[in-house]
Amino acid sequence: MKKIWIRVGTLALGIGLWGLALFFWQRTEKYAGCFNGYYDTPVVTPAQVQEFLEQADRQEMLPDITVWSRQEKQLVKGSVQVGVTAEVWSLFGSMEDFFAGRLSSGSYVWQEDDEGCMVSTALAQKLFGTDKIQGNSIEIEKNSYVVRGCIESKDLFAAVLADREKELEGLYLEYANKSEPGSSARKLMWQITGREPEGFWEGNLYSALARVLAALPIWILVLVWIKRGCGKLNNISNFSLRLFGKLFTAGIVCGLIFLGLWTTLRFSGDYLPAMWSDLGFFPELIEKKQNAFLAVCQFVLCPNDASMLGNLGNTAAAVLGTVLAEGIFLGDSRERES
């Protein structure tokens, strides 16, 4: 009886952890069409971006573009003149895209609202003791702003609209197509700024990695069941029936595996070689992506990118726990059968 309860508990734990992995994967999937270019120095002004958009031939094909800059150790004061040192994000584009899904209260600042700003919930608590502060005035480096809303975050920061002639150092792109190749985003960044970014965040790569991890427990179960099912077919005494069963099972298995691989390994076209005979493509690709990840981690990540990286790590941790629970459960089942 005790062993049964242990098996039930192990199964419940595995299912719960897998559900958690799916939850974290879904949170990464929200940013699958997002790319971020990080530059060492300011490269473009809002006025230049606006001019580029106006002159573009096929504007409907362009992603949503937000240009940003981050300043450290800026003095922010509330109405009671309490001063707090915080980061300040200067943005041109959509604050709703840049802080997607993180609005705690109030509303996002719209593009023409030069007097509006947003603050993190942590900064709001520091300044006013609450995060319900929309309509309150704050001072950022001697400039007055009205708080429109709060962003859910433990970090101390404020966000304001950038002046049209201020040079900014980052480019955030959001495509409607979540399978948009990273090469397209890089090309667009070069067209806008005339430079390749020193750090490049590729949203659909990290969402795809999270998807592969989340699917891993299912693949393990499928492979175990295929192996055990094939073993049971060998016990059929009639040769014709045994052969038919194996062929029928093989057809179903191949179809399911193809469907599963197509669903799981849904990477962009950048991850396929021009010719399948190019054996060095994938090792070079892996090295290239590793170097790109190390390069972008030299920068302070934007909120969405940092959130995506955290959710990818949480997905991996939850999947590891699921696989361990799965291994214990399947191992115990095998002992009982033998």
Predicted local distance difference test score (pLDDT) of residue 179:
82
Q: What is the block-wise mean pLDDT of the chain (338 residues), using blocks of 10 residues?
A: 72 89 93 93 93 84 92 84 86 90 87 88 89 87 89 92 92 90 92 94 91 88 74 68 72 70 68 73 87 93 92 95 86 58
Per-residue confidence (pLDDT) for residue 146, from 0 to 100:
92
Residues 6+ apart with CB under 8 A from 287: none
* Residue 213 to residue 319: CA distance in whole angstroms: 7
Token look-up 């975050």 returns 153
CA distance 175 to 185: 9
Question: Of 157, 147, 198, 117, which Cα lies nearest the Cα of 303?
Answer: 157
CB 12, CB 320: distance < 8 Å: no
Spell out where 33-134 has E strands.
34-38, 64-77, 83-92, 103-106, 116-120
Structure tokens at 164: 């049209």
pTM, two decimal places? 0.84
pLDDT the model gives residue 248: 74
Q: How many CB atoms lie within 10 A of CB 209?
A: 17
DSSP letters, 209-270, are HHHHHHHHHHHHHHHHHHHHHHHHHTT---HHHHHHHHHHHHHHHHHHHHHHHHHH----GG
Residues 6+ apart with CB under 8 A from 283: none
Helix (H) or strand (E) holding 95: helix 95-98
Return the structure tokens found at 91.
């943005």
C-alpha–C-alpha distance, residues 201 and 197, integer Å: 10
Pairing of strands 143-151, 116-120: parallel
- Tell me the backbone φ, ψ of residue 157, rounded to 5 degrees: -155, 160
Q: So what's the pLDDT on residue 334? A: 56
